[in-house]
């Protein structure tokens, strides 16, 4: 496809001015060009810009706003541009400022004057708004798929270790025994809530601003419902001012990303702790660890540490965009050009974090013997003694708590754990205690007794695994 010789009066003159119209006679200062140009960032919106332009062009044809011949020429030109981009041959140029003007300028080169009709009844304001919504919506969809993959990896590992006993902690101190499967299922729940937040955000953002034009709508007989449907939106936005000025859809997505990153960071921290020789609960293979340049014995959990660190970048993106938007009057301001860099960066970091965590979960090998040995440390079955006093001897819980505390103190003095405390010592604290109490003082018995809904008992863990498998199916 070659450009005809009869260029329209407002065709690009390589100075980056003519697409703005006749108001400007001089090209921008070099500094103005440097601060204003965004093509290095918003070229990521190329696919979305082409999709929005196709939907707009087809609607203009259907509504009789532009002729079918010009409309088809525009659509063929957009196809040609898409082909150039796929082949890596599209000439991205800084002098055309952003992705919209780059595509429009190239369309003009390919098809001539007909290209000028594409921008009828739209503005770069609604154009970038629809492009950015499409991008963020796709990012949410991709994140949802990644979250489901991570949950599947966690479910598989949890199912394989539903009865592998390990210490449960509060304040990172031994609290009560749980199972490795139960611990992993806690993250399945967290990432499930993350998925629901992205789903909710997607529902709210799924309205099309295309057709709001600069800020006030269009005098042309456009069909905004048609373009919304063509782009997969549920409906068009209902207020033209809000359409071009809203970025809360991105803020909400970044909020969901930040919470998700918090969960990733918490799990990453546990992987770092569990993989230390002091804990030794899990081992990561060479695929997710690195060595040291000076200490040959080291196996560093760098993947987990980097997942933990990327949380800061995602939090920073949310803060950055919040501060960009906080003082802007309606409708569009150029400040909003700064909406995309933090959003792109945040979802890139989240993408890597989710992928790395999914890989680590599948890769890690738990040392079940080490975890089981640690499960009884720190008098972790003390609550089981108190519960036994309540169930068997009808002792009020606060009194049972006091007796158990005294038993722990006596066991510490004798240098034994609770199962090793002689019956005579227990009976000195509460004469009604029998040797039947020892049946509840092992970590295995403690875990098996936690059979309330959502508890750590292996049967409960397997029930939750089944529930999640059904939900994800």
DSSP calls for 186-228: HHHHHHHHHHHHHHHHHHHH-EE-TT-TTTT--SS---HHHHH
Contacts with 160 (C-beta within 8 Å, 6 or more apart), sequence order: 181
Dist CA 204 CA 131 (whole Å): 16
Burial class (CB in 10 A: 0-12, 13-18, 19+), 268: buried
Helix (H) or strand (E) holding 178, with range, is strand 173-179
Q: Which helix (H) or strand (E) holds 166?
A: strand 165-170
144-150 contacts at long range (C-beta below 8 A, 24 or more positions apart): 144/195, 144/198, 144/199, 144/202, 146/351, 146/354, 146/355, 146/358, 147/191, 147/192, 147/194, 147/195, 147/198, 147/260, 147/354, 148/195, 148/472, 149/354, 149/358, 150/191, 150/354, 150/357, 150/358, 150/361
Whether residue 147 contacts residue 264, with contact meaning beta carbons closer than 8 Å, is answered with: no
What is the rounded CA–CA span in Å between residue 207 and residue 213? 15
Own/partner contacts of 332-340, CB < 8 Å, gap of 24 or more, are 332/125, 332/214, 332/215, 332/244, 332/245, 334/36, 336/245, 336/247, 337/38, 339/132, 339/247, 339/250, 340/38, 340/41, 340/42, 340/44, 340/45, 340/132
Residue 441 to residue 433: CA distance in whole angstroms: 13
Active-site annotation, residues: 171, 292
Nearest to 135 by CA among 197, 45, 73: 45
Mark residue 122 as left, alpha or beta (left: phi above 0; alpha: psi -120 to 50; beta: remaining). Answer: beta
d(CA 305, CA 298): 15
Outline where DSSP puts E strands in 273-393: 282-283, 365-366
Distance separating alpha carbons of residues 357 and 154, to the nearest angstrom: 10
CA dist 346 and 264 (Å) reads: 14
């Amino acid at each position: 496809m070659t450009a005809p010789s009869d260029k329209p009066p407002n065709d690009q003159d390589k100075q980056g001015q003519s697409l703005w119209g006749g108001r400007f006679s001089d090209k921008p200062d070099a500094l103005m060009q440097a601060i204003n140009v965004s093509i290095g960032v918003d070229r990521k919106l190329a696919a979305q810009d082409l999709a929005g332009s196709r939907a707009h062009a087809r609607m203009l044809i259907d509504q009789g706003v532009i002729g079918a011949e010009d409309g088809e020429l525009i659509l063929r030109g957009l196809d040609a541009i898409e082909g150039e981009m796929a082949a890596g041959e599209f000439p991205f140029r800084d002098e055309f400022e952003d992705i919209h003007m780059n595509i429009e300028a190239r369309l003009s080169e390919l098809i001539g004057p007909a290209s000028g009709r594409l921008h009828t009844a739209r503005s770069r304001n609604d154009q970038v708004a629809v492009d950015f919504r499409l991008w963020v919506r796709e990012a949410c969809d991709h994140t949802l798929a990644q979250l489901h993959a991570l949950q599947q990896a966690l479910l598989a590992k949890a199912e394989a270790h539903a009865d592998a006993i390990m210490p449960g902690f509060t304040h990172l101190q031994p609290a009560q025994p749980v199972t490795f499967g139960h611990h992993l299922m806690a993250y399945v729940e967290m990432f499930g809530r993350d998925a629901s937040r992205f789903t909710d955000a997607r529902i709210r953002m799924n309205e099309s601003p295309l057709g709001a034009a600069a800020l006030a709508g269009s005098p042309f007989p456009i069909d905004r419902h048609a373009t919304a449907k063509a782009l997969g939106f549920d409906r068009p936005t209902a207020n033209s001012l809000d359409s071009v000025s809203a970025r809360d859809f991105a803020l909400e997505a970044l909020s969901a990303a930040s919470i998700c990153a918090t969960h990733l960071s918490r799990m990453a921290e546990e992987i770092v702790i569990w993989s230390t020789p002091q804990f030794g609960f899990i081992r990561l293979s060479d695929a997710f660890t690195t060595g040291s340049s000076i200490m040959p014995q080291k196996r560093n959990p760098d993947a987990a540490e980097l997942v933990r660190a990327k949380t800061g970048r995602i939090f920073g993106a949310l803060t950055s965009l919040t501060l960009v938007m906080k003082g802007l009057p309606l409708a569009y301001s150029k400040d909003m050009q700064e909406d995309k860099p933090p959003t792109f960066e945040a979802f890139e970091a989240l993408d890597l974090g989710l992928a790395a965590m999914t890989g680590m979960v599948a890769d890690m090998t738990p040392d079940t013997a080490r975890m089981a040995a640690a499960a009884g440390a720190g008098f972790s079955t003390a609550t089981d003694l108190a519960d036994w006093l309540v169930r068997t001897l009808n002792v009020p819980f606060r009194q049972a708590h006091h007796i158990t505390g005294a038993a722990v103190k006596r066991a510490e003095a004798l240098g034994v754990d609770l199962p090793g405390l002689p019956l005579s010592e227990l009976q000195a604290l509460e004469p009604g205690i029998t040797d039947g109490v020892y049946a509840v003082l092992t970590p295995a018995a403690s875990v098996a007794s936690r059979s309330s809904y959502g508890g750590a008992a292996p049967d409960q863990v397997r029930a939750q695994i089944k529930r999640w498998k059904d939900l994800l199916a």
